[in-house]
RNA sequence: GGUCGCGUGGCCGAGCGGUUAGGCAGUGGUCUGCAAAACCAUGUACAGCGGUUCGAAUCCGCUCGCGACCUCCA
């Protein structure tokens, strides 16, 4: 395995050669979703990008452990419906269990992830399942003197920490600036400094998810789970930590601080951040309410959508842009991706059927290298895809008889495209739906034979009627020099 | 306000000092009964103004516009 992969490390603000701590093993941790809502388009980006990274690392021969958490410890609150009969609500099963809500969204998330053809992580830990470990880390940080307790809550002492370590190294913040720029918010009177963050929070009555600890009945702070679960499953030092750019500060900065404060060691070697999906140039987010749920993308049921886009199109759309650039949603852009993807996948089918020539009339030796150069350059999938389309031209020319490929070249090209398109980019081949129904093929051949006969007799009315009605059934017929072909949507 | 980033042809989107990015759309052609697909050909792009350089979309400065983070957020 020749190692040329470079990735952009947010920590160093530059591309770096990827060198795992303990090759061939690679530890990869990615911040997953908060499971109190349906997944939207924005959630799909890190899922697809880090799935791509995972696939590529495996392709390169690394033994990767991919951990992606589920945040199920949040600010879930009771809505306290005043009008309802409180006594009736006491019935255990009539009240929604917090875990029931989380489970519902976890199930939905998993479904969406499968649709996007992402490989499931090796471990998908839930914050609620790691409360004892989180409590232990709070204790460790307290022991090291980088936290303080106040009224049952425990806060991280940023000022103390920054005397010894560099708080802000990931996000580029300076503690002095934070001091002057952080506004005083409500409920922060317990903190020594406004930029201190909670490690353990005493629960207010409306908080549903709560656990006992030596400090109070409460819940762990927002940033703690990732520090705890990443080091639990990947070790105190591991290779790659990924997540959305919006998590860089404070979430990831706090993670660094927590891990460093607890163990004295920084946990993560490479930090990778995907940029945001925007809509009309603005970040798609829950708080802005301008997001499109993945289910809506796939069904087309959203006021901004002119049509449904299948998950593969959404995946391809994201791969056509570089992961560190913002990507703006629009129907036009998605439609262009849909067409492009169809063209690529059509070429994949053509490639399988190509007959080898005596010798090659085109040089394909450079394609492979170009493709991997692009991938190795911080996962530059837009460039990779551009090269793949160059190959599509060649494939089509061979099919048209204008060019030829030797047997070896054809074999190599097939292997390359299969590796890149299916295995690395994670685009799925069209299933052979046609053959699932036993004698469909024979029936189709019968119809096409009748249609060919009609055409021969210049009975185009009948020929077109057959084609149009098949079309309505989702079957496309196209005439080629070698006779008619058919395919299903 | 502080910190960071971006502004590329009709749309999306690469590019990191000198060579065609690519996709979609458009136009002309080949093929076709018609479609579709495919193939061939086809575009005075780099926010503006200065500067550095033999040479800048690419480096520097300023101006304008947009966005992200600083609060839960992928």
Q: Which ranges of A354-430 would DSSP assign to H, the alpha helix?
A: 365-376, 381-399, 407-417
**A187-199: per-residue pLDDT in tens?**
457 888 889 999 9
3-state secondary structure of A252: helix
- Which nucleotide minimizes the distance between its C1' and the CA of A334? B12
Does strand B come within 7 Å of the CB of A464? Answer: yes
Residue nearest B21 (alpha carbon to C1'): A386
Phi, psi of A44 (to 5 degrees): -70, -25
pTM of the full structure: 0.91
ipTM above 0.90, yes or no: yes
pLDDT averaged over every residue in chain A? 88
- Which nucleotide minimizes the distance between its C1' and the CA of A197? B71
Is A104's pLDDT higher than 70? yes
pLDDT at A176 (0 to 100): 79
CA of A102 to C1' of B43 (A): 53
3-state secondary structure of A61: coil
Is A394's pLDDT higher than 60? yes
- Which nucleotide minimizes the distance between its C1' and the CA of A402? B39
pLDDT at A433 (0 to 100): 47
**A118-159: per-residue pLDDT in tens?**
999 999 999 999 999 999 999 999 999 999 999 999 999 999
pLDDT at A362 (0 to 100): 85
pLDDT band per the 50, 70, 90 thresholds, residue A313: very high
Which one, of A1, A8, A123, lies nearest residue A59 by Cα?
A1
pLDDT at A84 (0 to 100): 41
Strand B, nucleotides < 7 Å from a protein CB: these are 1-4, 6, 10-15, 21-25, 31-40, 66-74
pLDDT band per the 50, 70, 90 thresholds, residue A348: very high
* Percentage, residues of chain A above pLDDT 70: 91
CA of A281 to C1' of B48 (A): 22
Stronger pLDDT, A473 or A181, i.e. the higher one = A473
pLDDT band per the 50, 70, 90 thresholds, residue A444: confident
pLDDT at A76 (0 to 100): 60
Is A116's pLDDT higher than 70? yes
CA atoms within 13 A on the CB side of A321: 24
pLDDT at A489 (0 to 100): 64
pLDDT at A180 (0 to 100): 66
DSSP letters of A124-171?
--BGGGGHHHHHHHHHHHHHTTSEEEETTEEEE-HHHHHHHS-TTTTT
């Amino acid at each position: 395995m020749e190692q040329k992969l470079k990735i952009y490390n947010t920590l160093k603000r530059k591309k770096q050669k990827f060198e795992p701590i303990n090759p061939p093993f690679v530890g990869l941790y990615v911040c997953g979703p908060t499971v109190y809502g349906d997944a939207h388009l924005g959630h799909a980006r890190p899922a697809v990008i880090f799935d791509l990274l995972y696939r590529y690392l495996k392709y390169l021969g690394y033994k990767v452990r991919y951990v992606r958490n589920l945040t199920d410890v949040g600010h879930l609150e009771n809505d306290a419906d005043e009008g309802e009969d409180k006594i009736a609500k006491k019935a255990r099963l009539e009240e929604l269990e917090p875990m029931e809500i989380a489970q519902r969204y976890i199930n939905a998330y998993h479904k969406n992830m499968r649709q996007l053809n992402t490989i499931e992580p090796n471990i998908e830990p839930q914050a609620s399942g790691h409360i004892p470990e989180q409590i232990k880390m709070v204790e460790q940080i307290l022991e090291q003197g980088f936290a303080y307790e106040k009224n049952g809550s425990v806060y991280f002492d940023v000022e103390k920490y920054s005397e010894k370590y560099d708080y802000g190294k990931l996000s580029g913040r300076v503690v002095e600036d934070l001091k002057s720029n952080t506004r005083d918010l409500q409920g922060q009177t317990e903190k020594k400094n406004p930029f201190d963050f909670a490690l353990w929070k005493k629960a207010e009555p409306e908080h549903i998810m709560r656990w006992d600890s030596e400090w109070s009945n409460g819940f762990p702070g927002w940033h703690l789970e990732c520090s705890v679960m990443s080091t639990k499953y990947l070790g105190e030092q591991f290779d790659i930590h990924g997540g959305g750019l919006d998590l860089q500060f404070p979430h990831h900065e706090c993670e660094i601080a927590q891990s460093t404060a607890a163990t004295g060691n920084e946990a993560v070697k490479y930090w990778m951040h995907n940029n945001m999906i925007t809509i009309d140039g603005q970040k798609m987010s829950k708080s802005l309410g301008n997001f499109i749920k993945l289910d809506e993308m796939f069904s087309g049921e959203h006021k901004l959508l002119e049509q449904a886009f299948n998950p593969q199109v959404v995946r391809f759309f994201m791969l056509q842009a570089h992961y560190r650039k913002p990507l703006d949603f629009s129907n036009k852009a998605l439609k262009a991706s849909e067409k492009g993807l169809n063209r690529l996948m059509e070429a994949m089918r053509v490639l399988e059927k190509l007959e080898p020539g005596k010798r090659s009339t085109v040089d394909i030796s450079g394609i492979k290298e170009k493709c991997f150069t692009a991938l190795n350059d911080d996962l530059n999938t837009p460039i990779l895809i551009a090269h793949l389309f160059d190959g599509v031209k060649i494939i089509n020319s061979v099919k048209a008889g204008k060019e030829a490929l030797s047997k070896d070249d054809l074999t190599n090209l097939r292997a390359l495209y299969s590796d890149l398109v299916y295995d690395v980019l994670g685009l799925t081949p069209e299933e052979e739906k046609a053959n699932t129904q036993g004698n469909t093929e024979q029936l189709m051949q019968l119809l096409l034979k009748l249609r060919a006969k009609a055409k021969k007799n210049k009975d185009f009315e009948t020929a077109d009627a057959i084609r149009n009605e098949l079309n309505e059934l989702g079957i496309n017929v196209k005439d080629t020099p070698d006779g008619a072909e058919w395919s299903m949507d």
